[in-house]
Amino acid sequence: VLLTAADVVGRIVARPSEIDVGIVTALIGAPFFIYIVRRQKVRAL
């Protein structure tokens, strides 16, 4: 589901060209990963 959504976003945002799925996935996934890491550090304290 995430890759399909990332593909659609990549096709819509940069018309008439496309943005690679990996780039869109990284833009979505990196902030989410940072959020998870920070949340785990707060629980450890």
Q: How confident is the model at residue 42 (pLDDT cuts 50, 70, 90)?
A: confident
Tens-place pLDDT, residues 11-36? 999 899 999 999 999 999 999 999 99
Please tell me the number of Cα atoms within 13 Å of 33 on its side-chain side: 6
pTM of the model: 0.70
Judge whether 2 and 28 are in contact, CB under 8 Å. Answer: yes
Q: Output the six-digit token pair for 34.
A: 């940072």
- Calpha distance 11→8 (Å, rounded): 5
Chain centroid to CA 29: 3
